[in-house]
Structure 1
């Protein structure tokens, strides 16, 4: 990620320089050449006796000073050209429409979720093809499948980060396109593997989803998310500043803070991208306990990787090649000779690996 960010920064800076430097160099070259030409002509005329010596000296030295003062004007003209192009791009952005400009605030009485023949793609690449399923409220749905199959895209479409190309997605019986983004997302809390924290206090990061939360509510959420103790060990407690992206905290601490943020929001729909997949084993049990508190009584959608999460789900959606290949409970899908059974067998081999001791005994 760091290498990609550096490459992107390099490419942007090179693009700016190529748009600015060549024309600016030509202008500077023209000014320098004009100065040299005037000085040379003055010397020629002076040596021929056609120009007095003081006048010749004036024409030798003055052009470099006069044209030198014009160089900053040339630089500014080209900088203004770059700024004008950037402002033109900003004007184009202003003319774009907000995705929810026709949306309204809709209060929900239930939180059933339904995808109906949903198709979606980025540019010319199709990701989802005719996806249909239903998630009843207060149930847990696990989404499994290989990388690039469309699992994360399903969650992104539910949160309306993008609009579907065709088909519809409903929450509580209302199409997500009927909502404003704020009213739709007020019903959802999301916890992902890659946690983003702001360069702000821990208090502000936890209260981001509910800015009007009381001190007692914030601390209760932190306790439930198993992060109150480590927060109190920090120099200023909840008022401790953390770096951009939370780089002053460990991965497990950042994950628990994101869970505390979701708990404080107390949304009825929870979207999880297996929060413990990239966390060290020492913190995993703490995060599992926090997730249990977060998901109690909620409608859960989880992009699942761990067998325990998959087996306990009320419904499992197997996504393959942008389609729902299979749907059912763990036991129902195991009875089929399909994608899910092969996926589970692969996970069991990965999680149940054995290490042989020197005497041939197997250690799990």
Structure 2
């Protein structure tokens, strides 16, 4: 360092053992070396910072392509036949799950944490493929259907919302790339997010930061719902979308989802969409057409709220825990 050169070199210079030229030369060299060291340190820190991202890119690059044929789906019923799955070979998440969801049905999934509820949604959207068993949409085997064909028919609204560092308009337009500005605005109105977007500094042209850093959790979630409105897919997957939100945002999101799902008419007309919903707030799913109870990765029971209250100990326990949580006060 410069201090070391001065500490060692100055006494030598005073004793005429080195010339002033040598001392100045060492000082200049030490300062240059310090600059090089600082740059190297910053570069090394950047390498350590981006290394996980590089590894992830390499993993994605070498991930086997999911094969499948393009298909036009017309039947939006869903069937799981003896489906088993594990993220790690030694820990099965789903074990021989068999269930049929009718087209236009509002179908809820409940169970203790880690029982495989979210995994079912991931398998249905083909983010993963089942290890054994068959998953069908209508009569189409998902593993023989291209992911493009599947994604065209499925909208997903998850608890963890993925937004990008671009405008609100472009974030919503991800639901349907060819949508006009007016269609995006209409989707925002239906999702109860038009008003807060208009209050942003540049309205729909406001950049919202990486993953929506400039927005609240409820605002991010409503933009995600606006995407689903814009896409208007016949199958809708909802995963804990109201978790960790304040009462006002939860109410607005529930209103948006009710509008998005559509309701069965008195004349018996089918609901507009086949809907699978995961929620730990039992009160929000009691009106579902049917509810699937999972325990330990297996199907324990399936039926209406009233049927499960009579038949399923796990379901009764979940309802009681949810009721106590809502009544809790400090």
In the superposition, relative to structure 1, how do residues 90 and 199 fare at CA in structure 2: closer, same or farther (>3 Å)? closer
Is the 8 Å Cα contact of residues 326 and 339 (structure 1) preserved in structure 2? no
> Matches of residues 223-262 of structure 1 in structure 2 within 5 Å?
223-262=189-228
| Cα distance, 1:342 vs structure 2 | 1.6
> Matches of residues 69-84 of structure 1 in structure 2 within 5 Å?
none
Question: Cα deviation per residue 1:77-130 (whole Å; 9 max; x = unaligned)?
Answer: xx9xx9xx999998886555302xx31211111100000000011222111100
In the superposition, relative to structure 1, how do residues 105 and 353 fare at CA in structure 2: closer, same or farther (>3 Å)? same
The answer on 1:202 being equivalent to 2:168 is: yes
Alignment gaps of 5+ in structure 1: 1-63, 356-364
Instruction: Show the counterpart of 2:17.
Output: none
> Matches of residues 322-361 of structure 1 in structure 2 within 5 Å?
322-336=297-311, 338-353=313-328
Instruction: Show the counterpart of 2:261.
Output: 295
Is the 8 Å Cα contact of residues 157 and 228 (structure 2) preserved in structure 1? yes
| Cα distance, 1:244 vs structure 2 | 0.4
Is the 8 Å Cα contact of residues 142 and 309 (structure 1) preserved in structure 2? no
> Which residue, 70, 87, 91 being the options, matches 1:122?
87
Instruction: Return the alpha-carbon distance in structure 2 between the equivalents of residues 251 and 90 of structure 1.
Output: 28
- CA-atom RMSD in angstroms: 2.8
The runs of at least 4 consecutive aligned structure 1 residues that moved more than 4 Å come to 85-96
- SS state of the match for residue 311, structure 1? coil
Instruction: Show the counterpart of 1:8.
Output: none
Instruction: Show the counterpart of 1:279.
Output: 245
Which structure shows the bigger proportion of residues in helix conformation? 1
Is the 8 Å Cα contact of residues 169 and 181 (structure 2) preserved in structure 1? no
Instruction: Show the counterpart of 1:110.
Output: 75
In the superposition, relative to structure 1, how do residues 160 and 88 fare at CA in structure 2: closer, same or farther (>3 Å)? closer
Instruction: Return the alpha-carbon distance in structure 1 between the equivalents of residues 59 and 150 of structure 2.
Output: 27
The answer on 1:169 being equivalent to 2:135 is: yes
Instruction: Return the alpha-carbon distance in structure 2 between the equivalents of residues 307 and 244 of structure 1.
Output: 33
Instruction: Show the counterpart of 2:19.
Output: none
Instruction: Show the counterpart of 1:215.
Output: 181
> Which residue, 78, 102, 124 being the options, matches 1:158?
124
Instruction: Return the alpha-carbon distance in structure 2 between the equivalents of residues 88 and 127 of structure 1.
Output: 26
Instruction: Return the alpha-carbon distance in structure 1 between the equivalents of residues 191 and 223 of structure 2.
Output: 7
Instruction: Return the alpha-carbon distance in structure 2 between the equivalents of residues 353 and 94 of structure 1.
Output: 48
Instruction: Show the counterpart of 1:148.
Output: 114
| Cα distance, 1:275 vs structure 2 | 1.4
In the superposition, relative to structure 1, how do residues 189 and 139 fare at CA in structure 2: closer, same or farther (>3 Å)? same
Question: Cα deviation per residue 1:154-197 (whole Å; 9 max; x = unaligned)?
Answer: 11111111111100100121011121111101111111112121
> Which residue, 182, 185, 190 being the options, matches 2:151?
185
| Cα distance, 1:152 vs structure 2 | 0.7
Instruction: Show the counterpart of 2:8.
Output: none
Deviates more, 1:209-218 or 1:197-206: 209-218
> Which residue, 270, 284, 288 being the options, matches 2:236?
270
Deviates more, 1:263-272 or 1:174-183: 174-183
Instruction: Return the alpha-carbon distance in structure 1 between the equivalents of residues 116 and 208 of structure 2.
Output: 33
Instruction: Return the alpha-carbon distance in structure 1 between the equivalents of residues 57 and 161 of structure 2.
Output: 29
Which structure: larger Rg? 1
What TM-score comes out, normalization by structure 2 length? 0.78
- SS state of the match for residue 136, structure 2? strand
Instruction: Return the alpha-carbon distance in structure 1 between the equivalents of residues 168 and 58 of structure 2.
Output: 36
| Cα distance, 1:353 vs structure 2 | 3.7
Alignment gaps of 5+ in structure 2: 1-28, 263-271
| Cα distance, 1:345 vs structure 2 | 1.5
| Cα distance, 1:274 vs structure 2 | 2.5
- SS state of the match for residue 311, structure 2? coil
Instruction: Return the alpha-carbon distance in structure 2 between the equivalents of residues 139 and 285 of structure 1.
Output: 23
Question: Cα deviation per residue 1:213-247 (whole Å; 9 max; x = unaligned)?
Answer: 01221111100101111111111111110110101
